[in-house]
Every structure is written in C-alpha cells, then in structure tokens.
Amino acid sequence: MRAENQNKLTCYGRCRSSFLRGRIFFPLPGGCARHAGSVPCACARHIRLTEERRSGREGRKICIARSRITWDVQSTTSKQTTWKPLKENEFSAEPKWKIEEDYILVTSSYHTTCPISIKIKAHNLAWLKQRFLHDITIFMDARHFSDREWKRLGHFIPPFGWMELMYPMVKEVVSVLPYVEHQQLLLAQQSGRTPNCITCAVVGNGGILNASRMGKEIDSHDYVFRVNAAVIKGYEEDVGKRTSFYGFTAFTMLNSLHVLNRRGFSTIPRDEETKYILLTERQRDYKWLKAVQQNKELSNSSLQRLRTHPRDDFGDDFDLKKLFVVHPDFSRYLKNRFLRSDTLNGNYWNIYRPSTGAVVLLTALHLCDTVSAYGFMTDDYEEYADHYYDKTKTPVVLYTNHDLLLEKDLWAQLHEQNIIKLYKGTKTKTSS
C-alpha cells in the first residue's frame, strides 16, 4: 500500500475514533487537518466523512460529508447497490435517499474577524447552528465532475442534482468550469486589507421598493446582489445603481430581457465589478452555458426563441471566471435545511425549487458578514404590487413551483433574530 493511502486510512480511522470530540474534518493537500491545522484529523458533531477522493488538479481533495442530525429528509428509500439512471416519473413524491444529506465540504484559508458576522451568530443560535454549514461548497468548478459524482447526483432532480440530464452535456460543461480557488470569495478579496465587516445588500424585485428611496443605502454596502429582472434605469433612487453579483437561471434572465426590454431592462448588469451567479435548474441551462463557454449559437434548445447567441448578453471579451455556477449540493442543502416545502410530499414535487431570489439571498448569507434584504416578501405583501417597476398594482401570484409564503416566513424569522435586516417599507398601520 502506498504511503498516501496509508495516511488517508489512518486519518479516517482517527476521525472515527475521535467522533464525539466535536472537531471538524477539513481536507487539505497531502492529508487532513483540523481548522487550526494543528492536528492531522478531526471531525465535527454534525458531519461524518463518507468519501474522500483525489481530483486531477493540484493534488487537491474533495470531501463529501453527511449530516448526523436527524432531519425530516432522513432516508426511507434504500440506497442503490446496482446503478441505473433514475427518472422522475418513477416517484409520486420526492424520493428520500441515505445520501440526501451528503454535501461536498471544503477548507477555507480565510475566516471572518467581524464580531457581528452571520457566521458567528449562526453558531450561537441553536436552530441555525444545526442547519448552517460554514464549509459547504457553493460554486461548481471542473473538479466536481467524475463518474462517481455523476451517479451520486443522479439521485436528485435539477437544480439539486443531475437526474435525467444528458451525461455528455454535463461532463463537457462542468469539466471546463474555471477553478474556484476560494469558495469564500469575498473574504479572499479582503485579504491584505484592513479587516472589516463585509456588508451586503440583496435586492429583490418586490413592489415594496417602489418610492422607497432606498437607493443610496443599498449602494453604500460593500457588495450589492440582484436577481432576474433587475430593472435599474428610472428606479435608481429606489433600488440603487450598483450590481456586484447578478443571479439568474438562463430562462429567467432571457425572459426578463424579452418582457421588460422597453421598460428599462434591455441589458443585464454589466458594470466593471459585476459577477454572475447561474442556477442550473434544467437541461436547457447546461445547453445555454455550453454556448456561452464556446461563444457559439444555441442549438436544439427551447431558449433559441429568446436568444440565439448567448454570449451577446455578456460581450465577446467576457471573462468566464466572472460566471459562478451554483453547485447542486448547495441548492439541495438550501432546500433541505431552510426551505423544505410540503409540495415535496405530493405529485408536484418535481417542479418545486426555492426561488432565484431565495437562493441568491441565502448565498449572500454564506458569503457576507452582514446582509440587508430589500424587495423581499413581508407579512403585508398584499399591500404592494408584485414588482417595484409595475405601472399598475398587480397582485403577487403564488405558483406551485415556489413556496413564497415559506420564504416570507424564513425572512421574517431571520430578521427577528437579527441575522438579516429585512426592509419592511415605510407604510404605517392605522387602527380601525
């Protein structure tokens, strides 16, 4: 046996033997280490090492860990011993697997020094501590595709996995994704500067922002996140001007550009600071991404009616390193631990997913020290139009594919417990 394998087995054995000591396992080049790097191996109360494999790049390792907490998503479906591609129509509700809570964890060299950071608050709140994984992989890169990963993620429908997607397409697209050196990319960007709290504004498109005059406050944050139909022109006083991150699916972006072209959203945000967060919820997202990567026209895609040459929205000189693709594990983690809807228990399980706005807000929750949310649903959402750019008051429509009321309750809970600051408008209630 090679020394490398001996070290790996020794490390794994020590992890298991020290399981109840409450330490956290981190994979590092050449071996395993605790957070402080002072011991070769340790484990956390909430994770268990289930697989460690060496990727082909820079000798780095990918660690897949499983939650040890009892969740509503605990397995009732046997783990497959013989692999065969799964299909949605084989299930009448969301299937539950023993690997449901297996997520890729990573080591971060950067840690917050902000005393009021969400990461610190999450550790001190019992309900959030159980849910919050500080070291979850957020973004995919080329290391994250292998035949083993294809089979593992084949148990889950997009955006939570790769069930029913085309193997050649996923392999081709994921295998050329730029390397994400630091999942905690905002902390990494702060390296070398005077440490401070990373402040983020996440701007939804809710009607509560109309006439809010929140623009200057939004732009005063270190980073500004926007989603989908991020109409700025004509609404700068209410929603600000800056865009640090723009989150979307291929369809929500292209459809927004099509529908709102004459109402101020003729191009996606393309500021010098702007980076992009793509949610791959269907096969069409991978086809779209392939066309962007190769700077070619779309073919055999339902999105062709909206755009034939996807790179046009970014420019021919677009740097693909500015486009981050959400890892299916992260989407599934958000669904399982933060936004688990009752819809998953019935016939419409396969169309449910957290909204794009919810994914982007929860992404910011894992990247930033403080998060302020604007334009997201509040308890009095019926008093406002659906969107801040609506010319007439249009009611919020609750579709089955999202559970907006569940999301609304989560934002309220996070606000009440001082995890986020949720903008609640300026209207005052009068007693009848």
pLDDT tens digits for 116-153? 999 999 999 999 999 999 999 999 999 999 999 999 99
For residue 344, the one-letter residue type is: L
pLDDT of residue 423: 98
pLDDT at 14 (0 to 100): 30
Determine phi and psi for 384, rounding to 5 degrees.
Answer: -120, 160
**Please, what is the average pLDDT of the chain?**
82
Residues with Cβ within 8 Å of residue 285, at least 6 apart in sequence: 158, 249, 250, 251, 278, 279
pLDDT higher than 90, residue 113: no
Calculate the alpha carbon distances from 61 to 52, 155, 401 in Å: 7, 23, 36
User: CA separation (Å) from 265 to 230, 237, 314?
Assistant: 7, 16, 14
Residue carrying the six token digits 């026209």: 297
Q: How crowded is the C-beta side of 179, counted as CA atoms within 13 Å?
A: 7
Best CA proximity match to 227, nearest among 263, 254, 257, 203: 203
Determine the topology of domain 185-422 in CATH: sialyltransferase cstii, chain A (3.90.1480)
Q: What does pTM read for this prediction?
A: 0.83
Indicate the helix (H) or strand (E) that contains 276: strand 275-278
Residue 254's contacts (CB-CB under 8 Å, 6 or more residues apart) are: 303, 306, 307
What residues contact 115, with CB distance under 8 A and at least 6 apart?
A: none
pLDDT for 317: 85
pLDDT classification of 61: cutoffs 50, 70, 90:
low
Instruction: Choose the most confident range, by mean pLDDT, from 6-10, 81-85, 89-93.
Output: 89-93
- Return the ∠ at Cα 175 (arms to 11 and 109), rounded to 5°: 45
Q: What residue type is assigned to position 39 of the chain?
A: V
Q: How far is CA 126 from CA 114, 134, 386, 407, 423, in A?
A: 20, 15, 34, 20, 25
pLDDT computed for residue 301 by the predictor: 85
Angstrom distance (rounded) from CA 317 to CA 297: 16
**What is the location of CATH 3.90.1480.20 in the chain?**
185-422
Q: Pick the residue with more confidence: 251 or 75?
A: 251
Residue 238: what residue type? Answer: D
What is the percentage of the chain residues whose pLDDT exceeds 70?
78
- The structure tokens 């991404």 sit at 289
264-290 pLDDT tens trace: 899 999 999 999 999 999 999 999 999
Beta bridge partners of 285: none
Spatial CB neighbours of 171, under 8 Å, sequence gap ≥ 6: 145, 150
CA-CA distance, 105 to 87, in Å (whole number)?
Answer: 27
Q: Euclidean distance between the first and final Cα of the chain, in Å?
A: 79
Predicted local distance difference test score (pLDDT) of residue 72: 46
| Low-confidence winner among 59-63, 263-267, 351-355 (lowest mean pLDDT) | 59-63
**How many C-beta atoms surround the C-beta of residue 70 within 10 A?**
8
- Say what the pLDDT of residue 421 is: 98
Give the Cα separation of 366 and 132 in Å (integer). Answer: 9
Contact 129, 122 (CB under 8 A): yes
**pLDDT grade for 44, boundaries at 50, 70 and 90:** very low
d(CA 230, CA 331): 22
On the question of pLDDT at 10 being above 70, the answer is no
Least confident piece of the model among 22-26, 72-76, 341-345, 404-408: 22-26
Q: Which residue has the higher pLDDT, 262 or 319?
A: 319
Instruction: Name, in order, each residue with C-beta under 8 angstroms of 272's C-beta and a sequence gap of 6 or more.
Output: none
d(CA 223, CA 368): 9
Model pLDDT, residue 177: 97
